[in-house]
């Protein structure tokens, strides 16, 4: 292996590590500004998996998410829910079949998530931080 190949391999590896960590850093969990809960990763995971239906203060929590095959949804599933897309779909198929819970409503864009959450203090969702507006508040940032 010549020195150029070693340098190229090192740069490629470094960029792949940098890119995989920055995608998660851009993801934020948002709530309505009237919702004063600060959330942990476990809180977010439990609400999005239907294991709990309330925020830490006891108010109702209703999750909304982005539609399939968006980078933010894939990152959220992998890093917060600790599941890949197929595992999440299988999980929700079981939950719906047994009548234990229904999956979060899927929306088409970050803007739709923000607009809906801005209108209801019980909703929570996730978006890329570059789309944040003053109409919502960050309740958790990975």
In a domain, 57, yes or no: yes
In a domain, 97, yes or no: yes
- Distance (Å) of CA 50 to CA 6, 21, 96, 100: 47, 27, 11, 8
pTM of the predicted protein model:
0.80
In a domain, 5, yes or no: no
In a domain, 116, yes or no: yes
Q: How many domains does the chain have?
A: 1
Find the domain containing 72 and state its range.
27-140
**What CATH number does residue 95 fall under?**
3.40.190.10
- Summarize pLDDT for 75-132 with one digit per residue, the tens: 999 999 999 999 999 999 999 999 999 999 999 999 999 999 999 999 999 999 999 9
Using alpha carbons, select from 83, 81, 98, 70 the residue that is nearest to residue 45: 81
In a domain, 16, yes or no: no
In a domain, 4, yes or no: no
- Summarize pLDDT for 7-64 with one digit per residue, the tens: 444 444 444 444 444 444 489 999 999 999 999 999 999 999 999 999 999 999 999 9
């Amino acid at each position: 292996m010549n020195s150029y190949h070693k340098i190229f391999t090192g740069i490629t590896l470094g960029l792949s590590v940098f890119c995989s960590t920055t995608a998660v850093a851009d993801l934020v969990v948002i709530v309505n500004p009237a919702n004063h809960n600060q959330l942990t990763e476990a809180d977010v995971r439990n609400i999005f998996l239907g294991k709990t239906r309330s925020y830490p203060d006891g108010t109702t929590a209703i999750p909304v998410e982005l539609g399939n095959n968006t980078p933010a949804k894939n990152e959220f599933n992998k890093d917060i829910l600790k599941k890949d897309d197929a595992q999440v779909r299988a999980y929700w198929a079981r939950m719906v079949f047994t009548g234990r819970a229904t999956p979060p409503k899927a929306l088409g864009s970050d803007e739709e998530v923000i607009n809906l959450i801005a209108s209801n203090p019980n909703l929570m969702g996730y978006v890329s931080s570059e789309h944040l507006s003053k109409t919502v508040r960050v309740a958790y940032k990975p």
